[in-house]
Amino acid sequence: MLQGFLYKIIEENRNGGDWEFSFTIGWIENSKILQAHFPEKPIVPGACLLEIARELFEKHFSQKFLVQEVKSIKYLKLIEPTKASVVTFQFIVKEFTENRYKVQIEVLDLKNVFTKLILFFTPITDE
């Protein structure tokens, strides 16, 4: 879990209900991940963005999920925490079946769209 280690949640916006929602997060500057990637000029690793998206999706639905499929990831701009200390993850659930959510996600701030993702999430059951 990267929450509390790499980022902190500043705000959750549920104005679109379960199908459209967002989280605004801030980076934890002294995170070991940011110190290692890269010491002179920290950049948020792309794999961490995928994990953060999963964690936030789980938080919204209060349920555990598996990223079943990555349909697309477009890294449009590097996230440098010294320049973009706060970013928003915007979620739109495009399709839903009993065991699968197709979700469009954008990671952005007021000036930039950093990453666009289309992911398929499947609930994790205890069976």
What total of structural domains would you count in the chain? Answer: 1
Question: Is there a domain that residue 60 lies in?
Answer: yes
Q: Does some domain include residue 37? A: yes
Residue 12: CATH number of its domain: 3.10.129.10
Instruction: Quick: pLDDT tens for 43-71.
Output: 999 999 999 999 999 999 999 999 999 99
In a domain, 2, yes or no: no
> In which residue are the tokens 């789980």 written?
58
Q: Does residue 34 have a pLDDT over 80?
A: yes
Which pLDDT value is given to residue 19?
Answer: 95
- CA-wise closest residue to 18 among 51, 59, 49: 59
Quick one: pLDDT band at residue 17, thresholds 50, 70, 90? confident
- pLDDT of 46 reads 96
Q: What range does the domain containing 74 cover? A: 7-123
